Structure 1
């Protein structure tokens, strides 16, 4: 195993760990691929391959601990897949530069609101499943699936915040349900990259193994320690996404 692959495997572990807890793992792995000299299209495709493996394990871990409400999410999964396909299709035709200021402001608001709302996400106050809630989650899945396929940064943060703010989940349950949506959009995008031959499996497979390990560790710690562990990482990743977007807008 050469130094480049060792570096990417370590970055994959850290990225998957962070992503399984609060989202934002791509902020670790994407720069690592580019720094290692992987071409941009193969960076996106290979990262999506490895990240999808880690995302699947993380989703399964939350599901085994009953932190994923499949009845609530039954319509969200296909709607997320549809949104992701349309997002990937659209990004090939529409420049995404106009999204930087909009998403920067949105992610900053999410981070500040979460920081100052001290009791946000501490208690799981989600009650009964209603038709309105199922429809709401399906629409959220479609919108964030489209966003993830089209642009991506902050998808996990937005999902967690929406589930806490509007469905009254705590951080642990919000992360579990958000991870199912994330996995769906990741898997859908992965198929598109695979069809177009943009995945380097020689490095993708070993990195995926380390991302699976990172996902296992992160998910177990999140489930064991709950909101007190997830919220600080969620806040950190929200502000990291914000500053990364600012950097891309003004300095890149």
Structure 2
């Protein structure tokens, strides 16, 4: 039986605001929110599912903020089903693993992802994508599927990995961030549906945290769009 603690909720609300702001601006907010969940009394499977619930609410806000500003390439929307299905598959894999093994994997993945995003200092995009070649389309489709699966299984760092990927394919930073929000939205929803069906979401924490993430995600997305972001700066 899961226990409710007010101090844990307030701690998660603060982590949710900061994490959603960071995630909307540069990606990687899950490196804040998931460790926060794991620092509470919530078991690891419920931490993953509850974090996915809150992140999904923030992802909706981020996506529509970028989309209304015209910072999402319409061609990327075709890749959203791949992220959705991949995430659902990843969540099912997480469900099938024993909790102790899952916790070890999650902790190791958190450390590895944090090190990677800290060391990845500069991936400059060309600033334009004139045409979608076959190799680009295949590469982005593979990225959508595998990072969608990663997001459903684990989550933190997905936004940063997607931004790096879109920068590699030639997008400027803000459009890369907008494209990331589209795929992130799909993978968050895919994973969330799987976790809900599997009964691995603790709504007493996830729902209020998600409400706070709406505010953080909106402010973070507006900040990134307004600043245009300096691609020579570190992406963490």
TM-score, normalised with respect to structure 2: 0.83
The number of equivalent residue pairs is 226
Query: Is 1:54 aligned to residue 58 of structure 2?
Result: yes
Greater Cα shift, 4-13 or 57-66: 4-13
Indicate the residue corresponding to 1:148 in structure 2: 151
Indicate the residue corresponding to 1:215 in structure 2: 217
Indicate the residue corresponding to 1:125 in structure 2: 128
Q: How far apart, in 2, do the equivalents of 1:98 and 1:27 lie?
A: 14
Shift of 1:10: 1.0
Q: Which runs of 5+ in 1 are unaligned?
A: 238-252
Indicate the residue corresponding to 1:240 in structure 2: none
Shift of 1:175: 0.8
Contact 1:107 1:154 in 2 (8 A): no
Query: Is 1:70 aligned to residue 74 of structure 2?
Result: yes
What are the equivalent positions in structure 2 for 1:1-252 lying under 5 Å apart?
Answer: 2-74=6-78, 76-91=79-94, 92=96, 104=112, 108=116, 112=119, 114-115=121-122, 120-121=124-125, 124-165=127-168, 167-228=169-230, 232=233, 234=235, 237=236
Shift of 1:131: 4.7
Shift of 1:163: 0.7
Shift of 1:197: 1.5
Shift of 1:233: 5.6
Q: Which runs of 5+ in 2 are unaligned?
A: none
Shift of 1:150: 3.2
The CA RMSD measured in Å over matched residues stands at 2.9
TM-score, normalised with respect to structure 1: 0.78
Name the CA shift for 1:142/1:55 in 2 (closer, same or farther; >3 Å). same
